[in-house]
Chain A
């Protein structure tokens, strides 16, 4: 197990192992997202209060969950880079940020679209929404800072520090619905408790969450591979990949 971690920490084995992993991941992503979408749009029941607009949940909740997870993953990569100075951790951090930003934007947009028919407002400055907006700006900050100087270790360390410090925002998002009075409903979905919605609703939601996670990992690994090709172009093995 440890040797596998060791291998994945260096560019060449990572590139070779992920070469076989990526098509499988891509297929699974397509399957989960299409099954989940058809299920969510056509077969999940309407809500007794919200009617059909509850179908927005199947995009909103997965994008918000995976956006926060991608921040967590990005910050862990940052910590690994700060402690052990593993180059691939810097690449992993850099590649997680744009996906996280897109998913946070998707969560914010679908939240606004869902808020209009449900609360009567596109946006309110309450704790959950504001802390999620901060999450978006943190991702943007990481992207901008990391692009200051490509491949520079000093910039990498500064970016990693920002990512790790920004972690304090995650519990704020999570507990915002409990700490403050907010319009946003509290979580009806967790790993440890029985969900407070019927099985016909949470099963497609689980499929969508899995689909979004798969999508994240597909895109993440794909970008890490591209960045490896860019940074390691001097290595013999990169030169011997014939179309690169």
Chain B
């Protein structure tokens, strides 16, 4: 570990705001991507179900 304590780790030698916002943004991008994947898949499954039932009706 490169830091003496938790406080040191958060402060990042005065660059804390920059370092943590960069990693926060990365987390945001990854989180957004994963949510988009799950929602897209659910939407397509719903759509296919609808298509199926429409075919049965006609």
Q: Which residues of A contact B (CB under 8 A)?
A: 33, 37, 41-46, 51-53, 55-56, 59-60, 63, 98-99, 102-103, 105-106, 109-110, 113-114, 116-117, 215, 219, 222-223, 225-227, 229-230, 233, 238-239, 243-244
Contact = CB atoms under 8 A, between A and B. Distances in A.
Given A45-B2, A52-B13, A109-B25, A117 B18 contact: yes
A150 B9 CA distance: 49
B45 A244 contact: yes
A113 B3 CA distance: 22
A219 B33 contact: yes
Interface of B: 1-3, 9, 12-16, 18-19, 21-23, 25-26, 29-30, 32-34, 36-37, 40-41, 44-45, 47-48, 51-52
Chain A binding surface SS class: helix
A43 B2 CA distance: 5
Contacts of A116: 18
Contacts of B48: 229-230, 233, 238, 244
A189 B41 CA distance: 37
Contacts of B16: 52
A175 to B, nearest CB: 26
Given A53-B19, A98-B36, A233-B51, A42 B1 contact: yes
B25 to A, nearest CB: 5
